[in-house]
Structure 1
Amino acid sequence: MRLRTVLATTAASLAAATCLSAAGPANAVQSNACSPTVSIDRFSDALDKTTYEGTFVGNFSALAVDRDGSLAAVSDRSALFSLDSSPDGKTLAPKAVVPLADETGAPLDSEGLVVDRNGTRLISSETEPSVRRYSRDGKILDRLPVPDALRVAPAGRAVSNGTFEGLTLLPGGRTLLASMEYALNGDSAGIVRFQTWQRSRATGGHFEPGAQYAYRTDTGLGVPEVQATPDGRLLVLERGFTAGVGNTVRLYLADPRRATDTSGIENLTGQDDVRLIKKTLLADIAACPSLGATAKQPQPNPLLDNIEGMAITGYSKGRLKVLLVSDDNQNAVQTTRFYYLRVRI
């Protein structure tokens, strides 16, 4: 299966996204370089340890730009937020929250988020794992099939708490992609699988499992998020944590278009005949200027925290506006922090 490069749909949706604002230092981009291709405009801790209508605001695991340009954020504690992303919405204040649950009414470990072209929400959970479609008010509409090997052991070969962390819709709206966080049992350490689904008229517009690709992470890191760029490539976050040292967070540009379909390969051991997704380092977030940020626990850079969510909020002539968010795990020594990046691809 070939991943199609379709600029028009994604470019149009990104054009609708507003330029998000937030509190924080606002030095010139040139002085805020993280690397030759990435700079940081500012950060915001405005939502850290706050509540909205009785719901804790935090535990953010994914972000998405809605069709009207507003910002959606999903918490891994079963909540879907709408955040103020208007030009004067400097606090990112929540405007609405919807509870999420599975088919039995049990809380959902929600990790990935896509706003589909009709406004419904595709949300992944790493528990089973699963991808479900929800209405804007949190009602389950359907559930996508998942290959058996990707299920958590003993049903499959996936490790607990290491499955569908990232979720993105490729340009054109026909291919959905979910990234596993860690390798399957039987695959070489650091080689994670990216699963796709294809939408077609033959299935009534439903998604059916498609090709699968292999991606090699840096040693000791996993994949918490992935986002499709307007030209069909991927922004991939890699993340790790070492007690007493802090977080490692790196941003890569990856190209799956010539990678081998690994859906029929039982064990990925780095064999020569398997073409992995090609990746290029864009920035190590630890190399960004700290901008006056403080950390509540040891970090290589006080700007760093448990970064887990990412959304592309603007695009023009090969330059992206990228918003990151950290998952504070409702922990006193972690912070809910938004990061405003500019990325040249």
Structure 2
Amino acid sequence: MRFFPAVASAVLGLSVAASTLAADLIPVDDSYTISQRYARYKDQYAGISWPVSEFQSGQTVLFDRLYKTVGERELHVDVFLPLAERRTGQGIVLVHGGGWRSGGKSHFYALANRLAQRGYAVLLPEFRLSPEAPYPAGLIDVNDAIVWAKSQAADFGFDRDKLAIGGASSGGQMAALLAYTADTPLFKSTPTDDTKVSALIDIDGVLDFTTPLALQFENAAGDKSAAGLWLGGAMERVPDRWREASAAQHAGPQSPPTLVISSGIPRFTAGREIVETKLKAQGIRYRYARFENAPHDIWLFDPWFSQIVDQIDGFLTEK
């Protein structure tokens, strides 16, 4: 665990009282990195490679745009915009993974860049992770990022009613939960906030924590599991919170069209069948794409990365 200063007053060389500095530090778990995952997978998956990111002439990327403050804590969004002539009018908010406690928005740079080149305005929010603030803080942050994104839609060249949300791993779980609760006051700073999204893309994100498959893994370490640390305790201690945080429990007639992309490892999309049954019963567009012999982190590496871009693009342009 590392700690980083939350405010500029803690920069190197400035004399700050130890007690003040300690209060300004943000705990950061940087144990989940792309290079670490590549080292784990490179001898296991033939043909695995880092996706190549190239910028097009005239392409715009806006880094660290402030969308929210919590006290003196700033939260930022990175924005990848398409060329004006390629705009689809569709925006996408992507929520990074990392077990609700690690990772960062930069993990989605390659995907955001490629989708922007397909014509999408892509927004990558920073949000509070469990070492800093447990459930539901990060969910409230991402909803605030959605509200902010809609307020900037005209400047960023997309229709505020065509804003999708997506995410990978824990970010996929969060994206699904927010998409399916957008018609409720849950996870909103203000009950009337417009957080409705036009589509959901869940890449290997758990959809129901309460299923036997999810509990076998997510609750195995009890209070000390990644989910337990985020939710404030094991399933046995806070069962209502585990149910509330399960997107499948909220799926219904208000849910947006949904694309679930699976690495083929069933635990990471636990609850998918529940969601599929509910959405299909309501006539809501639903697609399930599954890879075989792939690692969990399919959004980070080729050959899966490029196929995921095609899957997202195809789903969002499908009528």
**TM-score strictly above 0.5:** no
Report the structure, 1 or 2, having the larger strand content.
1
TM-score by length of 2: 0.29
Structure having the larger proportion of residues in helix? 2
